[in-house]
């Protein structure tokens, strides 16, 4: 069964993830473009697949840098499986790829602030990353709450850490504004956006959005009931802090989605990576191999049928 391929982080698991991701991306491209199909669509799918795999490998690599992590081999399956449930937009957006990369890397930097000797330098890096993502959307200033919360701790409550936080916050936006005067507008056009409130009226715009709501609910469930406890066996401050960071990312994405502080058509774009992360934890907590295989297989078959019907490829 499918889950058996991802019991351990081996070459077999990596290869299975690559193949599964390939079919996932091409299936979505097929559904979105049906009944049209061309060489350009195939090339776009290959590029998207390469980027998607890069994200999975990057997250996996960064998680292996921790001595303790909530990340397991089943996440290699969780990301492509969760992607099938995601309400897909029209295509690739460079600014969203940039944002995803920055936030994925910021989780690793956050851990470095907490568990490395050079915490001030790493706090500067974290503040710099969060200042960069403001190019995409000013509402992402919500992520400044993470370093601000750290500055409240006695360990970081000094002038050195404060300056390391404030410098990027002050000078990165000034630098971006300065070069935007010189650089042609079309280069920054897809990046630089101002906050614009567009409240969600809690009506489901599509069937895919309804399914994604279920994924978000399961992810929130995982943040509440599967949070590592200090007293638990194999628990460690590293995996607790990583869990907390991803929880904040998930909750922030939900808040920004509800308030409509997104850019473009992807109201729930920010929620994909943390949701896939927690869906992986959800699967990992299922001890019965039979139940896990059944749930994954049922989810896969159901979402494939749903997509075919939703895109009007299959008529009932």
Summarised one tens digit per residue, pLDDT across range 86-100 is 987 656 667 788 888
pLDDT tens for each residue of 46-66: 999 999 999 999 999 988 776
Q: What is the mean pLDDT of residues 29-39?
A: 87
Distances (CA, A) of 63 to 35, 70, 126, 127, 313: 40, 8, 17, 21, 39
Which letter, b or e, does each residue of 170-186 get, where b requires 16 or more Cβ atoms within 10 Å of its Cβ? eebeeebeeebeeeeee
Question: What's the pLDDT at 177?
Answer: 74
DSSP element (H, E) containing 165: helix 159-182
Return d(Cα 258, Cα 164) in angstroms, integer.
Answer: 32
The DSSP output letter for 31 is: H
202: left (phi over 0), alpha (psi -120 to 50) or beta: left
Question: Is 231 a residue whose pLDDT tops 50?
Answer: no
Phi then psi for residue 60, to 5 deg, are -60, -45
Phi then psi for residue 91, to 5 deg, are 170, -165
Question: Is 156 a residue whose pLDDT tops 90?
Answer: yes
Return d(Cα 143, Cα 129) in angstroms, integer.
Answer: 10
Judge whether 240 and 215 are in contact, CB under 8 Å: no
What tokens were used for 242? 């990583």
Q: Which residues contact 139 (CB under 8 A, 6 or more apart)?
A: 195, 256, 259, 261
Return d(Cα 262, Cα 281) in angstroms, integer.
Answer: 27
Question: What's the pLDDT at 204?
Answer: 54
Continuous H helices in 226-312: 237-259, 272-284, 289-310
Q: 52: cis peptide before it, omega within 30°?
A: no
pTM: 0.90
Return d(Cα 129, Cα 287) in angstroms, integer.
Answer: 38
């Amino acid at each position: 069964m499918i889950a058996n391929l991802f019991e351990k982080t081996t070459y077999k698991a990596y290869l299975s993830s690559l193949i599964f991701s390939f079919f996932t991306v091409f299936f979505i491209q097929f559904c979105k473009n049906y009944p049209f199909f061309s060489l350009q669509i195939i090339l776009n799918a290959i590029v998207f697949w390469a980027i998607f795999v890069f994200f999975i490998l990057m997250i996996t690599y960064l998680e292996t840098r921790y001595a303790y992590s909530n990340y397991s081999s089943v996440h290699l399956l969780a990301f492509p499986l969760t992607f099938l449930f995601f309400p897909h937009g029209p295509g690739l957006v460079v600014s969203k790829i940039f944002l995803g990369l920055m936030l994925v890397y910021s989780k690793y930097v956050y851990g470095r602030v907490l568990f490395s000797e050079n915490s001030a330098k790493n706090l500067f890096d974290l503040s710099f990353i969060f200042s960069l993502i403001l190019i995409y959307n000013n509402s992402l200033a919500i992520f400044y709450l993470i370093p601000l919360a750290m500055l409240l701790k006695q360990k970081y409550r000094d002038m050195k850490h404060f300056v390391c936080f404030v410098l990027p916050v002050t000078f990165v936006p000034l630098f971006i504004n300065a070069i935007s005067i010189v650089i042609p507008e079309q280069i920054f056009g897809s990046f630089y956006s101002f906050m614009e409130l567009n409240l969600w009226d809690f009506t489901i715009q599509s069937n895919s959005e309804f399914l994604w709501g279920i994924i978000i609910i399961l992810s929130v469930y995982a943040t509440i009931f599967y949070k590592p406890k200090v007293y638990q066996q194999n628990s460690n401050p590293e995996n607790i802090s990583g869990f907390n960071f991803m929880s904040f990312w998930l909750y922030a994405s939900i808040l920004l989605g509800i308030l409509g502080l997104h850019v473009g058509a992807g109201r729930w774009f920010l929620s994909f990576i943390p949701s896939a992360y927690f869906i992986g934890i959800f699967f990992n907590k299922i001890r019965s191999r039979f139940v896990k295989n059944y749930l994954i297989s049922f989810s896969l078959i159901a979402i494939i049928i749903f997509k075919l019907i939703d895109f009007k490829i299959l008529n009932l």
